[in-house]
Structures are given as C-alpha cells and as structure tokens.
Structure 1
Amino acid sequence: MSKSLIDIIFTSEKRKCALLLLKDGPLKMDSLLSSMETKRQALLPQLKVLTDNHLVYHHGDEYELTVIGEMIVDKISPLLNTVNVFDTDIDYWGSHDIDFIPPHLLERVYELGQGRVIKPSIADFYEVNTKIVETTMKSKSMRIISSFIHPDSFNKIEAFIASGVEITIIITRELYEKLRVENYDEFKLLLENEKIRILLYPDKIGFIAFTQNAYCNFFRLLSKEGLYDNMLLFFCNPEALEWGNEFFEFYLKDSTPIIEI
C-alpha cells in the first residue's frame, strides 16, 4: 500500500526540510546539502521519494517544487511555523490566556517565529527586564500597552527619554485611576513631557503588558486563572515586529489621548 502524502511529508525530517527549502525557488544539490548539513547519500533517497510522489522534480543536479508541491508547501509552512511558535514553551502557552489576540492576528501567529520565555529570579522580580532596557536604549521609539505600573517604570522611562527615545503608552482606565491617585506627581510629569504620548484604552485588555521597541516584542500574559506571574515572553525578528505593529495599532485606534489629569 502506498503511503499518504501526510506520511511522506511528516515522517521524514529530511523530506520536510527539503520541501520547505524549495519553497523560495529551485536549489542545486550542493545548496540543499549545505543548508541541511547532511550528506548526498543520506539526502538522495528522500529526494527520490519526493520526486516519485510528484512533489519535486529535478533537472540534473537542480531540484524544484512541482505545482502540487507548491500548493502543499504553501499550506504546511504556516502550520509548521505556528507549531514553532508554541514550541517555545508549550506549558507556558497552555497555561496562559491568549484570547485577547485579535482573530486576524491569531490566524497569523506563526509570524512571531521562535520566541523565548524568561522567568525572573526573586532578586529581579521587581526590576524592569534587562532585555527590555538594553534593546530600548538602542531604539528611537518605544510603544507600550499596559494594565499595571512597574515599581521601577518611572526611573526607566526617564532614562529612555534621556537617551532620545520617544514613547507612546496606552493604559487601561483602572491603571489611569491608580496613577492619578497614587502617583499623581510622576504621572503629571509624564503628561507634560513632549517625548511621551499617553492614551487611555476604554476597555479591559486581557493581558498585563505589551512592549515594543525597534528590536523586539515583549508580552506579559495573564494565566488562564487571571493571575500575574511576571514571566516575560519575547520575539525578536522582522516578521514579529510587523505583527507587533498591527497588534499595537489595533488597540491604538480605540484609544484617546490623555491631555490632563
């Protein structure tokens, strides 16, 4: 009995990798071998399987996807990239709420790519993450959506501004009321600073915070029980930044500038 195409594609890492490499166009055998870090005698039998099943054809030493191969790879590529995102830490993803992600961006969550989860030590629990600080200091702008204020946030924002970083912050109404009552002086200074734009989002956001600079997207998510654990999830690649831009704009369109307290 012949194997199904699903078996042909997914039961061999070499076959799957070869198909994905050919997605962007024809490649010679040497290029495939170099990209896959394998040897000719190991790859040739797998390429023959793909050829015999009409997913790949070749001209001499150059391999290319067939029309059927192109159609299939166009579908499996987002699937595999989506799996790659959640493979970052499936226990983290599975225990945290992601319902806040707009449907059109959830469908394209694969664009985030491979990320990382950082759990701060007890000593760093009340510090702004060093990855955020280091990358923001090298950026021209920083964008934040937040439902909480970090104890060290005001000091770090002053340092960012001193380095020439322009900041846009979207806050929830609950955070606005907290800042107005408990941090009036610091909040007033931020509103008066021309390097900072602060806006009010009218509804709950369903997550703790989102931060984006020129290098990375950073998320602090709520657990499925609605609890805060201070773990940081971040993605640092061009596609993730484009995704993050759309994410920020989704919340920005319904936010209004805060002019005075």
Structure 2
Amino acid sequence: MSIADVLMTSKKRRDILISLRDGARTNKEIKASLNIDQVLLKHPIRELKEEEFIVQDDNSYQLSNIGKIMVEATLPLLNTLTVFEKDILYWRSRNLDIVPEELTEKIGELSDCNVVKLNVNEMFEPLKNYLNNCQNLKSLEILLTIVEPTAPKLLLLFAEMGSKISLLVTKEYLEKIKQIAYEELSILLELENVSIQVFEKDLKPPQIMLSDTTMATIFFNETDKYDYMEIVSYNENALNWGKELFLHYKNISHPLTEI
C-alpha cells in the first residue's frame, strides 16, 4: 500500500493517525476519541502497523517516527478531507469564491464544525438564534447580510450589558435596516463599545457571528441564496478561522459615522 493510499483512501486510518498526534493511546482511548465501535478499529490499526505508521507497546499505540513526520506534513490536507467528507453535499453547493485564497487553503481548520439546518422557528432569525445560545459575552464580531428586523435591538441589548461589539453590514443591508430600526441603529452608533463599518463592494459575503467561544457562519449557496443552513463550532481553530475571515472583510470596509 502506498503512503497516499494509507492517508487518502480511509477516513478511519486518517482519524487514528490524527488521534495519536498528541501521544500514545490505548484501544479504549482511541475508541472513545473517535466514537467508533472497537471491532471497526481492528482492521485499520493492523494496516497502520503493517505500514509502520504506528507502533504498539502492550495495549497502547503511538506514531512511529515516519508516522509523526507524515502526520505533521499532511495535517492540513487531512483536516481538509475531514471537512469535505463529513458534509460533502453542503460544501459542494456553497459559493466560496468570496473567501480569500489564504483562508480556503486553511479550510481544514473547520474540521470540528457541524452543519446545522435551522428549523422553521429559527431560519428567519439566525442572529437571534445565535445570541439566544450565548451568555455573559465580553465581545461580539458580527457581519450581517441577512435582514432581520430585530437585529439592532438585540445587539443594543448586549451592548448595554457591556459587550464590546464590532459590527459589519453590507450597504444593501444598511439601507434596508435603516427603514426598519432607525432608532436602535442610531443609538448603537453613539455607543463607545460599539463600532459599525460598511462593506460596500458588489459582493455578497457570508454572514459571520463570532463570540468569545462560538463561531457560526452562513455561506450562501452557489446561486447566492440563503438556504437556512449554517456551520457552527466551539473549537478554537474554527473560531480563529472565523475571526480571520471577519477581519478580511473589516479591513476592506469603512466606518459608519452617520446614518
């Protein structure tokens, strides 16, 4: 079996290698980390031993020297494969042209994300749904593209509780929300712990919602339509990826100084 076959043709082999990246584990520990039946581990573990990617010491396994080198060298690719294999239908239908190349190259950082289909009570208020699951927030970084009439009021509530808010809105969103919630938007603009910037390019960025601990992002489908699906993660790598994406759009936006 070639090295490429070991890494590319079996998710179980890849998951085992990644699970051993931080040190030796027993069969029971590997089973628990991968949430997989013990019987299903026997064959891929035997293959990895035969190819000398892992070594066994009594009932524990660890990466061999070559296994360590290969995992570190290919980890971004392994994580990217994990992202796409877990939700391939979702990712096939996303418009990722709006994401900068340096972040698509690191999309493996989203390997712990879950794709969530919002239900009928949530789909038209994704920000409200997100904030309902957040408590005691120190900061929020929000890029809004989906018009939600209650959004300014919700953000004002968090701002008045002391949360630091960095808000980006598209120019189309701004024009629509001014007609719906002009008063709340005006108050937000005056608060010291709130900054508002406008993304004016003729592009439709994803909706990004970031807190201290949670990342939720709505990538539109290939026709730029909102189909009530979002990705959510509490993982630090995914949160940092989301922050980089938010910063990318923030850096090409300009401050809103008056309405």
Which category of TM-score, normalised to the shorter sequence, fits these structures?
A: 0.7 to 0.9
**Aligned positions of 1:126-145 closer than 5 A:** 126-128=124-126, 131-145=129-143
Q: CA RMSD in A?
A: 3.0
Structure 1 residues 170 and 57, CA, compared in 2 at 3 Å: closer, same or farther? same
User: Which of 135, 150, 153 is the matching residue for 2:151?
Assistant: 153
User: Which of 27, 34, 48 is the matching residue for 1:33?
Assistant: 27
TM-score (norm 2): 0.81
User: Which of 100, 104, 107 is the matching residue for 1:106?
Assistant: 104
- Map of 1:217 onto structure 2: 215
Q: Which deviates more, 161-170 or 48-57?
A: 48-57
- Map of 2:87 onto structure 1: 89
1:97 shift after superposition: 0.8
Following the alignment from structure 2 to structure 1, what is the Cα–Cα distance between the partners of residues 12 and 89? 28
Local SS of the residue matching 1:210: strand
Following the alignment from structure 2 to structure 1, what is the Cα–Cα distance between the partners of residues 75 and 102? 18
Following the alignment from structure 1 to structure 2, what is the Cα–Cα distance between the partners of residues 39 and 123? 39
TM-score (norm 1): 0.80
- Map of 2:188 onto structure 1: 190
Structure 1 residues 255 and 63, CA, compared in 2 at 3 Å: closer, same or farther? same
Question: Which sections of structure 1, spanning at least 5 residues, go unmatched?
Answer: none
* Count of matched residue positions in the alignment of Structure 1 and Structure 2: 253
- Map of 1:56 onto structure 2: 54
Question: Which sections of structure 2, spanning at least 5 residues, go unmatched?
Answer: 32-36
Structure 1 residues 79 and 190, CA, compared in 2 at 3 Å: closer, same or farther? same
Structure 1 contact 88–117 (Cα < 8 Å) conserved: no
Counterpart code for 2:21: K
Counterpart code for 1:145: L
Following the alignment from structure 2 to structure 1, what is the Cα–Cα distance between the partners of residues 27 and 206? 45
Counterpart code for 1:35: E
1:141 shift after superposition: 0.8
- Map of 1:251 onto structure 2: 249
How many percent of aligned residue pairs carry the same amino acid?
28
Following the alignment from structure 2 to structure 1, what is the Cα–Cα distance between the partners of residues 107 and 181? 36
Local SS of the residue matching 2:134: helix
Following the alignment from structure 1 to structure 2, what is the Cα–Cα distance between the partners of residues 133 and 182? 20
Structure 1 residues 61 and 100, CA, compared in 2 at 3 Å: closer, same or farther? same
User: How big is each residue's C-alpha offset from its partner over 1:223-255, in whole Å with a ceiling of 9 and x where there is no partner?
Assistant: 211222232222221111111121111122222
Structure 1 residues 8 and 252, CA, compared in 2 at 3 Å: closer, same or farther? closer
1:63 shift after superposition: 4.8
- Map of 2:224 onto structure 1: 226
User: Between Structure 1 and Structure 2, whose CA radius of gyration is higher?
Assistant: 1
1:46 shift after superposition: 6.0
- Map of 1:70 onto structure 2: 68
1:239 aligns with 2:237: yes
Local SS of the residue matching 1:249: helix
